[in-house]
Structure 1
Amino acid sequence: MASVADRIVLSFAPSPSDGDPWSGVDTEWIADELCGDTYQQYLRRAHSGPVAVGEEWDEFVSCGCATPQDVVLRVERVEGGTAVGDETTLDVHPRNDTEAVPQ
């Protein structure tokens, strides 16, 4: 049985599309949604079990007025175990290929 990770660092980016995928995307809004208690609980339950660096999860967040924004979450780091569990802290950051995700 896999041990539950203490912390998993995730990065997010809009789902690939034509043109600049960040065009018109409010990353602060998306980050706030992804870091909310309800969404964090959903992610821990939806992705419970073994996890590996490089895994990608297709998700979406509500941008208000029933407008979803598709995002891809990528596992950047797994600390203190090898599985997502109820006690795992999910640390979510916008992905920018020119910047490192904070330690």
Structure 2
Amino acid sequence: MAPVADRLVLSFAPSTADGNPWSGVDTEWIADELRGDTYQQYLRRAHGGPVAVGDEWDEFVSCGCATPQDVVLRVERVEGGTALSDATTLDVHPRNDTEAVSQ
């Protein structure tokens, strides 16, 4: 079994039909949803196992009133191991926030 990663840095970008992923999207709402304990627990279980920089996951978050927002999560950095588990910390940032993602 691969060693468990201490931390994954993930970026996200909304998927939109008009090609501009940030038009009309509440980035803070999406970030709050992705950073929530329940959602992070889901991500650890759904994508548990080996991970690598560049892996992308198609997901969605609820924007309220049964309105989902499709997002693409991308693994930007893997620290301390190569496998995602319940013990791995997930650090999620909007994709256009390149400074936060590169730290």
TM-score when normalising by structure 2: 0.94
The residue number in structure 2 matching 1:77 is 77
Instruction: Tell me the C-alpha RMSD between the 2 structures.
Output: 1.2
Size of the aligned set, in residue pairs, is 102
Given the superposition, is the C-alpha separation of residues 17 and 5 from structure 1 closer, same or farther in structure 2, using an over 3 Å criterion?
same
| Structure 1 residues 31-54: Cα deviation after superposition (integer angstroms, max 9, x where no partner) | 000000000000000000000000
Q: Report the 3-state secondary structure (helix = DSSP H, G, I; strand = E; otherwise coil) of the residue aligned with 2:17.
A: coil
Distance 2:73 2:24 in 1: 19
Shift of residue 17, structure 1, vs aligned partner:
2.5
Shift of residue 5, structure 1, vs aligned partner:
0.2
Given the superposition, is the C-alpha separation of residues 64 and 16 from structure 1 closer, same or farther in structure 2, using an over 3 Å criterion?
closer
Structure with the higher helix share, 1 or 2: 2
Segments ≥4 residues shifted beyond 3 Å: none
Q: Report the 3-state secondary structure (helix = DSSP H, G, I; strand = E; otherwise coil) of the residue aligned with 2:98.
A: coil
Stretches of structure 2 that go unaligned for 5 or more consecutive residues are none
The residue number in structure 1 matching 2:43 is 43
TM-score when normalising by structure 1: 0.94
Shift of residue 15, structure 1, vs aligned partner:
1.5
Percent sequence identity over matched residues?
A: 85
Matches within 5 A, 1:52-71: 52-71=52-71
